[in-house]
Amino acid sequence: PIIPYIYDDELFDCVFYHKSLVEENKIINKTNLGVINSKIKKNQVLAVIGESFLSSAVTLIINENFPDYNHQDIIKLKEQLVKDEFLDHCSTLYELDKEFQTKYHENVVNNSCTVNRWKRKIYVSIFLSYIGALVQQNDLFDTIKDWINVLIQPNLESVKANLLKPLDKTAKSELYKLIGSSNLVPKYDIIETGDSLGLRPYVVNCAFNNEVLGKGIGPNFKEASLRAAMAALENKEKIDHYIYLSKS
């Protein structure tokens, strides 16, 4: 989804003044140190605001999708949805990392050490600061929440699939026993390819005789295809139809 824009130039600037700019004491222009420290302080406040807002927004989104969940279920699912890996991915997705690199190279000498060593932690913090700046800029809770909702939706769909039913590792073999033969076997086609981090799930269709019997979602092809087979097994009408054909 398109990232909401920060119209306040000062707020936007502060988003990228992470404390790593000064933690190794390699500022190019010492006369600007006071201004930089002030912006870093503001950045840290924005990160706290962003983290609090993200937590509240995701909690509401989970409650909307899983109204029967108790507080422990919500906390557990929220931890899965907003891992540092996901926030780091979002930061690079919107090229916030490049904006930070520009700010870093403008102010710091011999800068490769800090950026490389703490890259993920820095980019996670910057993404949270960006959310905090959006909140402080206009306080449009619903607008920002809707953006976050779209952002986490692929991950949420994957988690939904995993939480609703335990993985049946025998589903493929069971399906083959019911309707498969040496001439015709269930096929598992990738509809959407996930990423190596598991942030975007795989989507797989289970097809038989060119007809889709079920769809599965998972962090990798193996799990998604098993869930597709599980969905096919629940398609009783079609399964019974093909069992009848195999016996006639």
Q: What is the pLDDT of residues 31-43, one digit of tens each?
A: 677 887 888 899 9
CATH 3.10.20.740 matches 171-247: no
Alpha-carbon gap, residue 20 to 149, rounded angstroms: 30
Amino acid 27: pLDDT: 56
* Predicted confidence band of residue 198 (pLDDT cuts 50, 70, 90): low
> Of 101, 131, 99, 138, which Cα lies nearest the Cα of 116?
101
Facing residues of 204 across strands?
A: 190, 216
Q: How many Å is the Cα radius of gyration of the chain? A: 24
Which residue would you say has higher pLDDT here, 204 or 248? 204
Amino acid 109: pLDDT: 47
Q: What is the pLDDT of residues 205-237, one digit of tens each?
A: 999 988 999 998 887 899 899 999 999 999 999
Q: What is the pLDDT of residues 232-242, one digit of tens each?
A: 999 999 999 88
- Helix pair angle (119-138, 33-65), 10° resolution: 80
183 has pLDDT over 80: yes
Q: How far is CA 176 from CA 180, 186, 225, 230, 239, in A?
A: 4, 7, 13, 12, 11
* Predicted confidence band of residue 12 (pLDDT cuts 50, 70, 90): very high
Q: What is the pLDDT of residues 46-102, one digit of tens each?
A: 999 999 999 999 999 999 988 888 888 888 888 888 888 889 889 989 999 888 877
Length of the chain (residues): 248
Q: Where in the chain is the domain with CATH 1.10.1520.10?
A: 9-155
* Predicted confidence band of residue 137 (pLDDT cuts 50, 70, 90): confident
The pTM of the full predicted model, rounded to 2 decimals, is 0.66
Checking DSSP bridges between strand 187-192 and strand 211-218, what pairing results, if any? Answer: unpaired
What percent of the chain clears pLDDT 90, i.e. is strictly above it?
Answer: 36
Q: How many other CB atoms sit within 10 Å of the CB of residue 39?
A: 20
* Predicted confidence band of residue 112 (pLDDT cuts 50, 70, 90): very low
Q: Where in the chain is the domain with CATH 3.30.160.20?
A: 171-247
26 has pLDDT over 90: no
CATH topology of domain 9-155: Ribonuclease iii, N-terminal Endonuclease Domain; Chain A (1.10.1520)
What's the mean pLDDT in 93-116?
A: 67
Mean pLDDT over all residues of the chain? Answer: 83
